[in-house]
Amino acid sequence: MCRRAPESFWRPLHLSYQTEELQIEPSEDVIDAFSYLDGKQFSVLNACVYRSALRAHSVDGVPCCELSLNSPLNEQALGSLFWFFLLSAYLSATLLDVDPFEQEGVESYKKNMYAELGKKEAT
């Protein structure tokens, strides 16, 4: 008998290739508590958020598997990533003795969605 899934397994994706640099522009129209970000590049902000989340998960004991891409995503790379995440979810669940195909709540969600969209129930 499989048990329920434990706390999440975090799989961050780090896109390490360079993109166009965008900068956070100051706004004189909006007064908020974010002026300390004025002039910073989004890439700096994104990297800081990434490192901070990774560190917090590590300190809290949440298992992490860090993925890093050195080039922009194309169709083949994106398909490979989807396949990797599907396979890793299946293997992680199997190793933890959790039934990866037990989707509590999914049937209820589907019934609600079908009803709202007007799909007739199968007879």
Cβ neighbours of residue 24 under 8 Å, at least 6 residues apart? 37, 38, 39, 40, 41, 42, 45
- What's the mean per-residue pLDDT of the chain? 77
Percentage of the residues of the chain whose pLDDT score is greater than 90: 2
- Is the four-CA dihedral 55, 40, 68, 8 of positive or negative sign? positive
pLDDT-derived band at 64, boundaries 50, 70, 90: confident
Residues written for the chain: 123
**Beta carbons of 16 and 68 less than 8 angstroms apart:** yes
What does the pLDDT look like over 80-123, one tens digit per residue? Answer: 888 988 898 888 888 888 887 776 666 777 788 888 888 877 65
- Alpha-helix residue ranges (DSSP H) falling in 2-121: 42-59, 75-95, 106-117
- Give one word for 9, left, alpha or beta, with left for phi > 0 and alpha for psi -120 to 50: beta
CA-CA distance, 8 to 90, in Å (whole number)?
Answer: 13
